Amino acid sequence: ARDRQNTAVPDGSAVVERLWAKDPTLWSVDEDKHDSIEKRLGWLAAPAWLGDHIDELRKRVNKIRALNWQRVVLLGMGGSSLAPAVLAQIAATGSTSTRFEVLDSTHPDTVRRVTTHEDRANTLFLVSSKSGTTLEVMALWSYLDGLFRTDASAPNEPSRNFVAITDAGTPLEVLARERGFLDCFVNPPDVGGRFSALTYFGMVPAALLGFDLNQLLESVERQALSCQARTTETNNALLFGWSMGAYAAQGRNNLTLLLSPEIEPLGVWIEQLLAESTGKEGRGIIPIVNEPLQPLELYGKDRVFVAILAKKDDALMARCGDLESAGFPVLRLMTEDTKEIGGEFFRWEFATAVAGVAVGINPFDEPDVQRNKDTTALFLAGKKVPGQTALTPCIREGGLSLIGEPRQFQGLTRVAEGLSHLFKTTRPGDYIAILVWLDENEALHSQLESCRVHIREALGVPVTLGFGPRYLHSTGQLHKGGSSAGVFLQLTGAAREDIVIPGHDYSFEELHGAQADADLAVLSDLGRRVARGNLGQNPAQGLIEFSSVLEVALLS
């Protein structure tokens, strides 16, 4: 990369040695934090752990597969869902016949579409939660358990359709044992959620998807061996990790991922790993994923590019050359093909740990994530919370409304005026995050990507796109704990029909709404620049209207 002399590791040998020795002082001098850091470093032993458990894993999964499931659906959030989602997308390009879906939403329309299925009796549901108490996951299990118990066509033993993946001693493990789940996979306790791709959280889905586990293990072992090298010439994870952190410290904190098509699914997993690990204490690396290419002159000086290239991707290689010629730092990684996905998981975990050293933060905690969870609980209980005034409708126009702090839009009468006011706060070095609380589908994605392009071209800053509640377990930590560079536009709308959750005092629409409200309130209470666009009773039509209003706002 250009300017590498400004991002060189002061003592790469010492960093590697201390990291492998699990030395917590690499990330914090605060002795009170050392114990919690040490308890999150078990991912370094993932190659050995996987090697020890691979035969047992294969046997247990083969017993599960022998029941001839027509479909597999994983219920998970964040660290328990993103690695499986990557693996499922990669498997979909191969010869696998397994229909594998990830359900990581509480939107009633999404929940109904995935669970109301003619093959439900022949569907295996993976209930995946490290804590065993994840709000969304346990609500989804409760709903499905109720469906099976009232469905005359379902098997006599409804728990036969469930497999748990969790840590030892969690409420989910207890539930799985008591209810007689088909199986319960218990993970090593010293691996944090977003670093858990190479534990049962990622490997059970990998086995069910038909990945060659031995081949996957070999790729992990090769990468782990590379990560033991003491110099950046032979340890590219060390080079990348330190460079990403050092560039961020210099103001180039918008890290743009350029991925060859074969490896493109990895982007959303890297996004969580970097954002949740480094976005705290007013600092952080801001990952920009799945961004359409744009003219070089539209990129700001806050950009650094990371390219993961397949060997024959001449187009992306040429793009990297153009970016370097224009003066942008470009870090390149070569990958053989998707058979190396296990190694990529380990390489990026190692690089992220090194980036934490360079940025000067602890990459193994998520101090601001719990705040959103606590605020959600308060909303569900009907209690007033800090930042609640941000939920006040400020501008109504047709079926649309703009919601935020009343003083933010005082005197404005048009939604376009309000959006224009929000966007005019954008400065060089900022980014805009579109936070979507709608039923996720292909048509919606297409419209939102169009909005994303329009905003980026008009304002000249990176624009990210995330769906709630998924992003709460991914970039949500960065939004709240990172720098104040974010400008947030939340989009909400009504569901077609609500769903009751057995055993709970709230429905899925109420849960989904409380999560969105909590995120808006917390962002507002932190002084972030944020507003909500409510698309009304018909969100599909509302988004069309909103897109037109957005274009007007960007021209004013």
pLDDT at 488 over 70: yes
pLDDT tens track for 101-118: 999 999 999 999 999 877
Contacts of 474 by beta carbon, 8 Å cutoff, 6+ apart: 78, 82, 268, 271, 272, 275, 276, 466
Distance CA 387, CA 527 (A): 9
| Of 216-230, 239-253, 317-331, 332-346, the least confident | 332-346
pLDDT tens track for 455-486: 999 999 999 999 999 999 999 999 999 999 99
Indicate the pLDDT class of residue 311, thresholds 50, 70 and 90.
confident
pLDDT at 407 over 90: no
Angle at 410 between CA 405 and CA 413, to 5 degrees: 110
Average pLDDT on 93-98 reads 65
Distance CA 447, CA 420 (A): 20
The answer to whether the peptide bond before residue 188 is cis (omega within 30 degrees of 0) is no
Indicate the pLDDT class of residue 287, thresholds 50, 70 and 90.
very high
Q: What is the pLDDT of residue 19?
A: 97
DSSP alpha helices (H): ranges in 424-498?
Answer: 442-459, 476-481
Contacts of 308 by beta carbon, 8 Å cutoff, 6+ apart: 257, 258, 259, 260, 263, 266, 333, 335, 344
Instruction: Give how far Cα 405 sits from Cα of 387, 423, 440, 527, 533, Å.
Output: 9, 15, 27, 10, 13
Angle at 71 between CA 202 and CA 127, to 5 degrees: 45
Q: What is the pLDDT of residue 6?
A: 60
Q: Count Cβ neighbours within 10 Å for each residue of 318-327 and write b for 16 or more, e otherwise.
A: ebbeebeeee
Eight-state DSSP code of residue 474: T
Q: What is the pLDDT of residue 153?
A: 59
pLDDT at 52 over 50: yes
| Of 11-15, 56-60, 95-99, 239-243, the least confident | 95-99
Indicate the pLDDT class of residue 151, thresholds 50, 70 and 90.
confident
Average pLDDT on 299-316 reads 92
pLDDT at 1 over 60: no
Long-range contact pairs involving 372-379 (C-beta distance under 8 Å, separation at least 24) = 372/472, 372/476, 372/480, 372/515, 372/518, 372/519, 372/522, 373/135, 375/518, 375/521, 375/522, 376/135, 376/511, 376/514, 376/515, 376/517, 376/518, 378/518, 379/514, 379/517, 379/518, 379/521
- What count of other Cβ atoms lies within 10 Å of the Cβ of residue 54? 16
Distance CA 196, CA 203 (A): 9
Q: What is the pLDDT of residue 490?
A: 98
- Note the pTM of the prediction, 2 decimals: 0.95
Contact 406, 388 (CB under 8 A): no
Instruction: Give me the helix-helix angle, 46-65 and 200-208, nearest 10°.
Output: 40
pLDDT above 90: percentage of residues in the chain: 85
Average pLDDT on 338-354 reads 95
Q: What are the phi and psi torsion angles at 536 (to 5°)? A: 85, -160
Q: What is the pLDDT of residue 4?
A: 44
Q: What is the pLDDT of residue 5?
A: 41
Q: What is the pLDDT of residue 2?
A: 40
Q: What are the phi and psi torsion angles at 126 (to 5°)? A: -90, 115
Average pLDDT on 420-429 reads 95
- What does the mean pLDDT of the chain come to? 93
pLDDT tens track for 157-178: 778 999 999 999 999 999 999 9
Q: What is the pLDDT of residue 354?
A: 97
Indicate the pLDDT class of residue 94, thresholds 50, 70 and 90.
low
pLDDT tens track for 211-225: 999 999 999 999 999
User: In the block, which residue shows the tokens 């066509």?
Assistant: 153
Average pLDDT on 368-389 reads 91
Q: Closest Cα to residue 46, out of 304, 319, 348, 254? A: 348
pLDDT tens track for 258-271: 999 999 999 999 99
